Copies of this chain bind each other. A is one copy, B any other.
Amino acid sequence: MKAQRANSRGERLMDAAAALFAERGYSATSMRDIASAVEMLPGSIYYHFASKDDLLLAIYEAGVTDITEALEGALMGLHDPWARLEAGMAALVEAVTQPQARTRVIFAVTPDQVPRHREALIAARDAFEVRFSTLIDDLPLAPWVDRQLLKLMLLGAGNHAQLWYSESGSYRAEEIGKAFARFVRAPVEH
Contacts and interface: CB of A to CB of B under 8 A. Distances in A.
Interface of A: 23-28, 82, 110, 112-113, 139-143, 145-146, 149-150, 152-161, 163-164, 171, 176, 179-180, 183-190
B113 A28 contact: yes
A160 B92 CA distance: 15
B186 A185 contact: no
Contacts of A189: 82, 139-142, 185-186
B140 A164 contact: no
A109 to B, nearest CB: 9
A161 B152 contact: yes
B145 A156 contact: no
B183 A150 contact: yes
A149 B179 contact: yes
Given A156-B157, A159-B160, A161-B152, A188 B179 contact: no
Nearest to A149: B179
A4 B188 CA distance: 50
A190 B157 contact: no
A121 to B, nearest CB: 13
A156 B141 CA distance: 23
Contacts of A142: 186-190
Nearest to A143: B190
Contacts of A23: 112
A160 B152 contact: yes
Contact of A141 (B145, B149, B190): B190
A146 B188 CA distance: 10
